[in-house]
Amino acid sequence: MTRKTRARNTSVATKITMAVSGLFFVIFVVFHAYGNLKMFMGPEAFDGYAEWLRDPIPHLIPPMWFLWAFRALLALSLLIHVEAALRLWIRARKARGTDQYVNHQTLATTYASRTMRWGGVIILVFIVFHILHFTTLTFQIGGDYHMLTPYERMVASFSNWYMVLAYMIPLAALAMHVRHGVWSAIASLGWSKKRREGWINAIAITVAAVVFFAFMLPPFGIFFGFIS
In terms of CB distance, is 22 or 219 closer to ligand HEM?
219
Name the minimum Å distance from CB 39 to ligand HEM. Answer: 8
In terms of CB distance, is 5 or 135 closer to ligand HEM?
135
Name the minimum Å distance from CB 203 to ligand HEM. Answer: 20
In terms of CB distance, is 204 or 227 closer to ligand HEM?
227
In terms of CB distance, is 119 or 219 closer to ligand HEM?
219
In terms of CB distance, is 33 or 84 closer to ligand HEM?
33
Name the minimum Å distance from CB 97 to ligand HEM. Answer: 35
Name the minimum Å distance from CB 208 to ligand HEM. Answer: 12
Residue number with the smallest Cβ distance to ligand HEM: 134
Name the minimum Å distance from CB 133 to ligand HEM. Answer: 8
Which three-class secondary structure string do you get for the chain?
CCHHHHHHHHHHHHHHHHHHHHHHHHHHHHHHHHHHHHHHHCHHHHHHHHHHHHCCCCCCCCCCHHHHHHHHHHHHHHHHHHHHHHHHHHHHHHHCCCCHHHHCCCHHHHHHHHHHHHHHHHHHHHHHHHHHHHHCCCCCCCCCHHHCCHHHHHHHHHCCHHHHHHHHHHHHHHHHHHHHHHHHHHHHCCCCCHHHHHHHHHHHHHHHHHHHHHHHHHHHHHHCCCCC
Which residues would be at the binding site for ligand HEM (CB under 6 A)? 29, 32, 36, 50, 53, 71, 74, 123, 127, 130-131, 134-135, 150, 154, 167, 174, 215-216, 218-219
For 176, other C-beta atoms within 10 Å of its C-beta total 19
In terms of CB distance, is 12 or 73 closer to ligand HEM?
73
Name the minimum Å distance from CB 164 to ligand HEM. Answer: 9
Backbone angles phi, psi at 138, to 5 degrees: -75, -45
